[in-house]
Structure 1
């Protein structure tokens, strides 16, 4: 069994790349909160590669799980001393297998909160990284302010010694760190949201300021919050996936993970207490992450949105299948080239043409195919961030708006009808639709839909060219279906 092999030998007998270093010499300089699949395929992978190249041994990772639903993964990893296998699925159909050994310590907050607090306060800890999801920062969608009134946050404000939330644990750890003179530390968000470091700073500073104003002053001087941009498609792992991955790797692993072969991490170089030499294994450091964020949001994330509703209405359910249809592939390439592209200055040494080509290859990777239903989920939150900035600039510049008009018309059709063009019924998963939004969707006048909450940043009704093309798309989709309209849209 993997458990016995790993504990006895320090490495598993797998093809590819077993741990090439002595894990018993590795100390923990990084605490990571939120040990999930993406983290294990991304930060742990980079750090494992660095340690394997002879990187300094003080940069091992101590993983922290805080949520009740984290218990199964925590127990699986704990039983294997933090070791697990990563299968990297190549776009050429060839897989690579890695044994990841950089996760050298684990703590589960609900069972052992003091261990979590002590890890944050440990003077050897120089960096605290986070994957707590985009919604985990507890910011109000309307105001952007930190929500102090939620149940668990209120509990942590009133009971600082018995935290439940990441904010309570972080504050308790930083308080102990300041009292013990453990020195400064960096908090690095690895979540997929724009300006994630600024978001983390706002969330933690708001909570700390409400609970302990004195500590808030210490944090201002002793904690940095770099922005970062992360990218690697990492699917959820089902029980069937576990069996399949174990057969492929040749290891009995209770917690395998798999990902695409593409990986990117761009970080603002603002580490107050030092950092690993991650650049030696491909991490990019910069003074400003904004251009990289803009590239990813405008090309990758916006393309996912542009694909989602039309492809779903056409009957597709997997991204690779939809992009395998040349009509959708051309639609996305036209969007990237003609619509979003002019507003994406290539950051650093990025080859933008290669980046766009690679995106389509990534979307086509059958081994890590995403569900289109996931891309459709929560358009109310995604569209203002991914699509509206490009559309607003295009309207300003008098650009051709037909692809964006098609997208908005398809979004309306998706929200309004509940059946795709093949007659398959579906449920709309839009948790943030308001009562007013629902009235606008139900309206018989398609113009009303342009006042939907995701579009509020721009007065779409005042854009005559857009309105004309949008109304035409609405009518044609209603009469003909999505694919015949798309076919006309992609004509040379």
Structure 2
């Protein structure tokens, strides 16, 4: 296969961006745009220094270092044709477990103008009910008291910014690339809350020297399993220990509030705007919410790949009705966006056989996803007296998934919910299905107060348990 490779000389590239969280999405999205931009000689100060902070990052760090940080990105077309790109924009890689001082020094370095983040929806350490930063967290408490030996992203950022301020190394932008509504506002609340609690002088400096633009990111990027590595390498002919694959659709919309300069990413397809709200509302309400909607019923039906689930006419009808009937009334289309075409494209993207995303990835960490993707529009629907059948069915499916951990084919499975609290575990274990409506991700609305929602939910709980997921779904979509 012909590999599309970069032509710039890495020796000429400087690092102007520090990225925390070098996962698959970052390597398929931000690195992809930046790699293309580095071909322009006037943009070669924008190479990326990757930072990994977790012990579990050891494998990816060693894999990338073994091949001079280069890797392959396979872009899987909806028409079945693939492109393989060689990505070289990752110029440095620091593992905080191994060398924490290097992370701090790099944040303080005057050449770094932007810190970008993919630390997941749950990584901002905010209370899901109040939105307040959780200062009581054990690791946060450690970092507040031991600023020189941080363990969290907030502690590292604070110490790096403190050194930056001390050395008079200039202003900086912190850009979240996580799937959160107003992710820049979220990042600002989290980082400034920590810094305010640790260092009042630094907090004052941050007010005038750090900006937090909002952004909207979109590219379906599955986790890469061992069998995927072999499959991708067989196709590309490259022995890559850290390949990534993704869909052919990509979008990145960013508010243009960069205090220390930025790459000319618009040359490679990034959209800059004064207000990202309409774009992120469209994406979170349609793509991410639909992913959550289809994930638990699909998993309970026995599907493990999203494209396989999208061959099920009942799943497709559930998703399409959700988009058209439930969500579209609450999604004003951004400028120059055809909403009907966008929804049609989403169905195509979900069904992409070349990507074949994992249903388990969509199920992962529902506790962080429900408050962001489902609850805002559900609250509006309840207030407006709308039909909430699909939302009640989703909630009942989520409970069944968490409580019984067995699909309708009799296969047992483990759930992955890193942010469940001890109280949540008790609510899941309870045989009184009403208790589940007190789960932490639902706290923004008292779902029990809506008799229409609660009674529909209870009916679905009983029917799913007695009949199985398939006949219940069939009754909804027919």
TM-score by length of 1: 0.89
Aligned in 2, Cα 1:221/1:477: closer, same or farther, shift over 3 Å?
same
SS of the residue 1:457 aligns to = coil
Q: Which of 186, 209, 213 in structure 1 is aligned with 2:196?
A: 209
Q: Is the 1:84–1:101 Cα contact (8 Å) retained in structure 2?
A: yes
Between 80-89 and 469-478, report the one with greater CA deviation.
Answer: 469-478
Q: Which residue of 2 aligns with 1:146?
A: 133
Aligned in 2, Cα 1:17/1:330: closer, same or farther, shift over 3 Å?
same
Name the count of aligned residue pairs.
477
Q: Which residue of 2 aligns with 1:385?
A: 372
Aligned in 2, Cα 1:351/1:433: closer, same or farther, shift over 3 Å?
same
Aligned ranges 1:182-193 → 2 under 5 Å: 182-193=169-180
Any idea what the Cα deviations from partners look like across 1:114-153, whole Å, max 9, x if unmatched? 3322322222221111122223323334443333344443
Matched, 1:168 2:155: yes
Q: Which of 17, 33, 37 in structure 2 is aligned with 1:46?
A: 33
Q: Which residue of 1 aligns with 2:431?
A: 443
- Cα deviation, residue 472, structure 1: 4.3
Q: Is the 1:309–1:411 Cα contact (8 Å) retained in structure 2?
A: yes
In the alignment, the residues of structure 1 paired with residue 444 and residue 142 of structure 2 have an alpha-carbon distance, to the nearest angstrom, of 36
Q: Which of 383, 395, 415 in structure 1 is aligned with 2:382?
A: 395
Bigger Cα Rg: 1
Q: Is the 2:124–2:187 Cα contact (8 Å) retained in structure 1?
A: yes
Q: Which residue of 1 aligns with 2:353?
A: 366
SS of the residue 2:464 aligns to = helix
Aligned ranges 1:304-383 → 2 under 5 Å: 304-383=291-370
Q: Which residue of 2 aligns with 1:127?
A: 114
In the alignment, the residues of structure 1 paired with residue 46 and residue 98 of structure 2 have an alpha-carbon distance, to the nearest angstrom, of 25
In the alignment, the residues of structure 1 paired with residue 455 and residue 54 of structure 2 have an alpha-carbon distance, to the nearest angstrom, of 49
Q: Which residue of 2 aligns with 1:255?
A: 242
- Cα deviation, residue 88, structure 1: 0.9
- Cα deviation, residue 450, structure 1: 4.1
In the alignment, the residues of structure 1 paired with residue 333 and residue 382 of structure 2 have an alpha-carbon distance, to the nearest angstrom, of 22
Matched, 1:59 2:41: no
Q: Is the 1:381–1:432 Cα contact (8 Å) retained in structure 2?
A: no
Aligned in 2, Cα 1:255/1:477: closer, same or farther, shift over 3 Å?
closer
Matched, 1:71 2:58: yes
TM-score by length of 2: 0.92
Q: Which residue of 1 aligns with 2:185?
A: 198
Aligned in 2, Cα 1:178/1:312: closer, same or farther, shift over 3 Å?
same
- Cα deviation, residue 252, structure 1: 2.2
CA RMSD of aligned residues (A): 2.5
Matched, 1:295 2:282: yes
- Cα deviation, residue 79, structure 1: 3.2
Q: Is the 1:437–1:453 Cα contact (8 Å) retained in structure 2?
A: no
SS of the residue 1:117 aligns to = helix
In the alignment, the residues of structure 1 paired with residue 130 and residue 379 of structure 2 have an alpha-carbon distance, to the nearest angstrom, of 22
In the alignment, the residues of structure 1 paired with residue 238 and residue 349 of structure 2 have an alpha-carbon distance, to the nearest angstrom, of 27
Q: Is the 1:15–1:250 Cα contact (8 Å) retained in structure 2?
A: no
Q: Which structure 2 residue ranges, 5 or more long, are not aligned?
A: none
Q: Which structure 1 residue ranges, 5 or more long, are not aligned?
A: 1-13
Q: Which residue of 2 aligns with 1:99?
A: 86
SS of the residue 1:87 aligns to = strand
